[in-house]
């Protein structure tokens, strides 16, 4: 889905880590989600689909400092993910519903309570005028929803926004403006050079309301103290 220009997240930097517009977007799937044998265990064939990336304190790209990214697709063709802990400034989910004419402003007061909990995030520096809804697998649109891993899907059409506005949407969801992309081999190289840690995903890390606390939670999940890493980086 495309968004009005005024909702875009500005990106005036050169191509850096996780910023490659040639990286592939996930293909839409006509098949309903099925349970993944790889869920919570490392990804198939060594890839990181459905895993979380956690930026190391030494991350040289300020746009990804302290970022936590859910990996939607990773293959020999590259990788694509959604940053889940960077709020989009000065824009709310309700505002976007009005701007996209999903509902008129006069009906905002009638929005279901669940719609108010949908966070609008800066999903990454690539294609920031495009919207992606990362959501739980209890919602599925034929030929539009991509199952990523057990319990998590991606949909990028207005239909899901309309469903959320009606109260018929997924149990958990976030709306991301843009995405992070890597060219073939780029993510692997960044991990090898200690740019990223990675761990299994869980609903709280992806959809939790404490957006600002996700970095510390992700580090704690893998048993790493942020202060200790920062100290080691300073003495490197």
What share of the chain has pLDDT > 90, as a percent?
Answer: 63
DSSP label of 2: B
User: Measured between alpha carbons, how far is 58 from 125 in angstroms, rounded to an integer?
Assistant: 19
pLDDT of residue 113: 85
Partnered with residue 19 across adjacent β-strands are 181
Among 13, 1, 5, which Cα is nearest to 125's? Answer: 13
What is the DSSP secondary-structure string of 5-69? GGGPPP--SPS-TTB-TTSPPPPP-SSPP---TTTTS--GGG--TTEEEEE-TT---GGGTT-EE
Kindly report, residue by residue over 196-218, the tens digit of the pLDDT. Answer: 999 999 999 999 999 999 999 99
Tokens encoding 132: 């992606």
Q: What do you get for the CA distance between the two ends of the chain, in Å? A: 44
pLDDT at 228 over 80: no
Distances (CA, A) of 102 to 16, 50, 166, 225: 35, 30, 10, 43
pLDDT of residue 192: 93
If one compares 133 and 26, the residue with the highest pLDDT of the two is 133
Kindly report, residue by residue over 18-57, the tens digit of the pLDDT. Answer: 454 455 556 543 333 333 333 334 445 568 999 999 999 8
* Mean pLDDT, all residues of the chain: 82
């Amino acid at each position: 889905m495309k968004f009005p220009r005024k909702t875009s997240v500005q990106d005036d930097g050169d191509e850096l880590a996780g910023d490659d517009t040639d990286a592939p977007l996930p293909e839409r799937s006509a098949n309903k989600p099925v349970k993944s044998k790889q869920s919570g265990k490392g990804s198939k064939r060594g890839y990181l689909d459905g895993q979380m990336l956690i930026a190391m304190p030494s991350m040289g790209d300020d746009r990804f400092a302290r970022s936590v990214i859910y990996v939607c697709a990773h293959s020999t063709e590259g990788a694509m993910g959604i940053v889940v802990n960077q709020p989009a400034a000065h824009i709310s989910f309700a505002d976007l519903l009005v701007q996209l004419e999903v509902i008129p402003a006069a009906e905002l007061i009638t929005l279901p309570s669940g719609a108010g909990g949908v966070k609008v995030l800066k999903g990454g520096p690539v294609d920031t005028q495009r919207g992606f809804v990362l959501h739980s697998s209890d919602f599925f649109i034929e030929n539009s929803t991509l199952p990523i891993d057990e319990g998590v899907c991606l949909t990028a059409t207005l239909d899901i926004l309309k469903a959320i506005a009606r109260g018929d949407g997924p149990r958990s969801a976030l709306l991301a403006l843009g995405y992070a992309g890597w060219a073939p081999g780029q993510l692997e190289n960044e991990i090898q050079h200690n740019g990223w840690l990675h761990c299994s995903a869980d609903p709280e890390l992806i959809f939790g309301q404490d957006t600002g606390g996700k970095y510390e939670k992700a580090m704690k999940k893998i048993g790493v103290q942020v202060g200790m890493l920062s100290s080691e980086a300073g003495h490197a």
